[in-house]
Amino acid sequence: MSSTATLAAPRRRAVRRVLPGFNLTLGYTLLYLSLIVLIPLSALVFKTLTMTWAEFWTAISAPRVVASYKLTFGASFLAASINAVAGLLIAWVLVRYEFPGKKIADALVDLPFALPTAVAGIALTAILAGNGWIGQYLEPMGIQLAFKPGGIVVALIFIGLPFVVRTVQPVLEDTEKELEEAAACLGANRWQTFWRVIFPAIAPALLTGFAMAFARAVGEYGSVIFIAGNMPMISEITPLIIIGKLEQYDYAGATAVASVMLLISFILLLIINGLQAWGRRRYGSAS
């Protein structure tokens, strides 16, 4: 009995320590995250704490700043919602259908990743302006996108689409088609098959793609700055407000606005992560 116990103990220790050098890799990970994430965010908070409450409130509640909050978060949420629907459809087509030029279409999804954001903004402005390829047909109908909030939404859709497609696509590829065939044999129509069989499997990934597209859109600057028009109270985004304060050497005001952006983004991401966990529990138990 004692010999068996002595043989079992090393095995349990070996199972607990799967990766060699765990202490070293953990220390490196914590150090790296501290240098890249925690220290810059701490500097942001400490700089903001140098302001009095009255100065802080004045900096973050100015009408021009509040208008930029509404535009930034509203346009980001709208763009992420559109990307959630469009990205799901694109991922579905790329996974479930074969057609000429499929590999080219699949590669084009990653174009916003590789394209510099400033180039994307200039290209969208040239296309959507009043004399552009598309804008010249839209403006006579009373639709003006360039230098308006609508143009900001278009730019955010452009840069956020790959996050949804690349998050949902591998989950669709791993979905078992036998379950769909079984649902069809049991009399389910296409909508019932999608809603009760396919959607529960892809819902957590879809929420993740939405969260990533939303977070990317909130902090976007390069592609938006050219197409927005940057008109105060109309088409001025919050990152531009921060840049403007930095150029005026108002570092405390810039960090105050940035800290509000950080707090709101953190709260929204917590809510989205909670929805993801709820989706996994609900749809996981349903499946």
| Number of CB atoms found within 10 A of residue 11's CB | 9
At 16 the pLDDT is: 58
Q: Which residue has the higher pLDDT, 180 or 79?
A: 79
pLDDT tens for each residue of 147-159: 888 889 999 999 9
pLDDT tens for each residue of 11-35: 555 455 565 566 777 788 888 888 8
Which residue type is seen at 114?
Answer: A
Q: What single string gives the DSSP state of each residue in 172-221?
A: HHHS-HHHHHHHHHTT--HHHHIIIIIHHHHHHHHHHHHHHHHHHHHT--
The yes-or-no verdict on residue 250 having pLDDT over 60 is yes
For the record, the structure tokens of 209 come out as 């793609």
In whole angstroms, how far apart are CA 18 and each of 11, 24, 26, 202?
A: 11, 14, 13, 31
The architecture (CATH level 2) of 58-286 comes to Orthogonal Bundle (1.10)
> Rounded mean pLDDT of 201-215?
86
| Number of CB atoms found within 10 A of residue 64's CB | 11
pLDDT band at residue 6 under the 50/70/90 scheme: low
The yes-or-no verdict on residue 283 having pLDDT over 80 is no
**What is the C-alpha separation between 149 and 72, in angstroms, rounded?**
10
Which residue type is seen at 222?
Answer: G
pLDDT tens for each residue of 251-268: 888 999 988 888 887 887
For the entire predicted model, the pTM comes to 0.81
At 136 the pLDDT is: 85
| Number of CB atoms found within 10 A of residue 280's CB | 14
At 66 the pLDDT is: 92
Angle between helices 251-286 and 53-60 (to 10 degrees): 70
